[in-house]
Structure 1
């Protein structure tokens, strides 16, 4: 009897343990089922996200293809426009200047053979006619130069800027001597530039400095050029991780009010009367376009009757060296 009770207790204990194990397994199954449900929801969400991203990628690819087609179209239009511009320039160069040449030739003949026969008033008008013809010739040449600046083939070469400056100073030799100007070249470096365009740029700025000098005061022009990293140029228009050739041309001329520092680069902008300072008002616009052709930047600072300074930044296309 005692043996049977012991066996019954042992079985009951085993049954309790079995029930506990079964309950634990059921809890684990429910936990796993819950985790599986969460995983399925997560998988479903991921699949929906993937489908959404795939759809967005298809749209982005279509947009990119469209943009590439537009770029190719614009590039083709630009090539065609440049060809038309070149044709226009060739025609304009002849059609605009030929009548002017005839006027100047006729004036030259009158000056040679009939000038003394003119009345005093007639001579005054004759001189004005010659000046107007010369002014028109200069305007046409400047306009053609401005228009050609973007259509010319861009052939860059690494050159010592001192060579270009010497060429310009030689071209302006007579004016420099006439004005008793002092040209001070402080420091010069090499730059990767379009030679003839850069010579035009330097010529325009130096000739402006000679022209807009204070009456009775010899022009003093300082020219320097050195290499600087973009982040040391104090100009937010420059790329900070590129190296630049920084050219500075400063003078002691009549200068300008600071509010005009951007306006002076616009076409036909003149801050002073034509009677006092001759010119077409295109020189600095040409200078700016040339700098832009070099992917650079030009700025002007000045103060009335205290001179002007032009800072030109041309990328060397090299990463600046550190340390």
Structure 2
């Protein structure tokens, strides 16, 4: 028993040393956390610098547009001078008939004017060359803006990865908590078994004491029997029958003594085995305690990592809000001025513009309109990430009708037919789902076959999940299957995933206008509903979009 107590003291010393080691590891992890925070501050500083660079690029684009307008004005002035020179030349030709004496002077002046006209033409060529250079510079600035937008999309993807890592970390944390509970239960069972074995060992010790007491008693009895044997030998002649009885009793006593010695050896062997098993269980208990300490340290580390991921997610959301503010104010304000000034030039100075000047103003208005559409689409895409996701049990018929009302003019222009079948009530975010339906119907109208009336079919089915069947379910739960099908130009099967990527277009913008963000917004809305969207299409046979939404959110 004292040996067991000493072993427990050693275990307590081991636990103390392990606790010190755990504290040291915790201090190291705190230092690592501070290092991560410093790196995060540096990353934020880099992001601020990149935003300033993007603003500088936008300012350079505004200056380039102003310089382009100035050069267009200079070109117009040169053209007006050329018209005056031609008018003067015609006037001098008429005067030549009446003023024959002044013919030589007129010819000299005409030659001089031709030289001036040639100079003006050369200056016009130089101006056109410089204008082409500035157009190239403007395209470069537009390319830089596209790269900045792609970088923003990449940052959004990184944010989504962080969110997925946070989900995985939470899942692993739940699993480890369950494992910790299992270890604690095993430790309780081991302690109970150890207490039981200690009781058994105490019983064996008591039995051994009883056996030793009985052995001493039997030894005394043997001495008595020996004394009786001496007396019996002295009375041998008289007590032959008594000696035989005593001899038989002595044989029985020796047999019993031998049996008790064997039992004592068995009890000693059992006591040795019990002590070995007790030592083994103490080692197992120590291992379980060490595993519990490691699990607690890992749990603490994962909690800190989860806090880091949550902080990173908050920072990413603030970056998206900052981008939305810039798109809503800083980018749209100069764009409105460009649209306003180009519109005023087109209206107030239309008669004074040359054919090429009118063409340039029209191109400027179209480019500004395209940029306005792009900014609005980017704002819509960012709002699908930042807006509050409040699910409401909604009638899908009403949502579709509201989307059709928004597209009323386009439907009338295309003379489109909308066929609605078996729509039902579904738990959704109403304004996001209305935007989803509107984007998909608008996409079908845009890519309709020229000369053929668009025909769009919208239907909905409820799918009851049954894990006992061999059916391959899209979602492993009850869900709604919504289908939007059209008879448009369709697309090749290899592009069924690419069409959902941001800024991805299968056709030239001149042929089919748009920014390439509409289907990306549709996919993001479905992700917000924890669902799935797929697309199938055939060339000149139409396209079909399948949406799968869980019945319970």
Coarse TM-score class (shorter-chain normalised): 0.7 to 0.9
Q: Does 1:293 align with 2:493?
A: no
In 1, distance between residues paired with 2:355 and 2:331?
31
SS at structure 2 position matched to 1:317: coil
Deviations 1:96-126 (A, max 9, x none): 1111111222232234333355444444443
Shift of residue 5, structure 1, vs aligned partner: 5.2
Q: Does 1:59 align with 2:294?
A: yes
Shift of residue 177, structure 1, vs aligned partner: 1.9
Question: What residue number does 1:46 align with?
Answer: 281
Q: Which moved more, 1:24-33 or 1:243-252?
A: 24-33
In 2, distance between residues paired with 1:3 and 1:158?
117
Is the contact between residue 189 and residue 245 of structure 1 (CA under 8 Å) also seen in structure 2?
Answer: no
Question: What residue number does 2:549 align with?
Answer: 314
After superposition, the Cα gap between the structure-2 partners of 1:27 and 1:112, relative to the gap in structure 1 and judged at 3 Å, is same
Aligned counterpart for 1:140 among listed residues 375, 380, 402 = 375
Structure 1 segment 77-226 matched on structure 2, within 5 A: 77-226=312-461
After superposition, the Cα gap between the structure-2 partners of 1:259 and 1:4, relative to the gap in structure 1 and judged at 3 Å, is farther
Aligned counterpart for 1:18 among listed residues 231, 243, 253 = 253
Is the contact between residue 213 and residue 252 of structure 1 (CA under 8 Å) also seen in structure 2?
Answer: yes
Shift of residue 137, structure 1, vs aligned partner: 0.7
Shift of residue 230, structure 1, vs aligned partner: 4.9
Q: Does 1:305 align with 2:540?
A: yes
Q: Which moved more, 1:100-109 or 1:122-131?
A: 122-131
After superposition, the Cα gap between the structure-2 partners of 1:10 and 1:306, relative to the gap in structure 1 and judged at 3 Å, is farther
Shift of residue 43, structure 1, vs aligned partner: 2.5
Structure 2: any 5+ residue segments left out of the alignment?
1-235
Is the contact between residue 374 and residue 515 of structure 2 (CA under 8 Å) also seen in structure 1?
Answer: yes
Question: What residue number does 1:259 align with?
Answer: 494
Is the contact between residue 346 and residue 358 of structure 2 (CA under 8 Å) also seen in structure 1?
Answer: no
Deviations 1:156-190 (A, max 9, x none): 22211221111111111111222222211112122
SS at structure 2 position matched to 1:298: strand
User: Please, what TM-score do these two structures have when normalized by structure 2?
Assistant: 0.52
Aligned residues: 315
Shift of residue 294, structure 1, vs aligned partner: 2.0
In 2, distance between residues paired with 1:293 and 1:235?
20
Deviating beyond 6 angstroms after TM superposition, the runs of 4 or more aligned structure 1 residues are: none
- The structure that is helix-richer by fraction is 2
Is the contact between residue 534 and residue 547 of structure 2 (CA under 8 Å) also seen in structure 1?
Answer: yes
Shift of residue 231, structure 1, vs aligned partner: 5.6
Deviations 1:79-112 (A, max 9, x none): 2432343133113311111111112222322343
Shift of residue 3, structure 1, vs aligned partner: 9.0
Structure 1: any 5+ residue segments left out of the alignment?
319-323
> What CA RMSD, in Å, does the superposition of the two structures yield over aligned residues?
2.6
In 2, distance between residues paired with 1:298 and 1:18?
94
After superposition, the Cα gap between the structure-2 partners of 1:8 and 1:170, relative to the gap in structure 1 and judged at 3 Å, is same
In 1, distance between residues paired with 2:528 and 2:522?
10
In 1, distance between residues paired with 2:427 and 2:327?
32
Question: What residue number does 2:307 align with?
Answer: 72
Is the contact between residue 249 and residue 309 of structure 1 (CA under 8 Å) also seen in structure 2?
Answer: yes
After superposition, the Cα gap between the structure-2 partners of 1:45 and 1:213, relative to the gap in structure 1 and judged at 3 Å, is farther
In 2, distance between residues paired with 1:121 and 1:293?
49
After superposition, the Cα gap between the structure-2 partners of 1:15 and 1:273, relative to the gap in structure 1 and judged at 3 Å, is farther
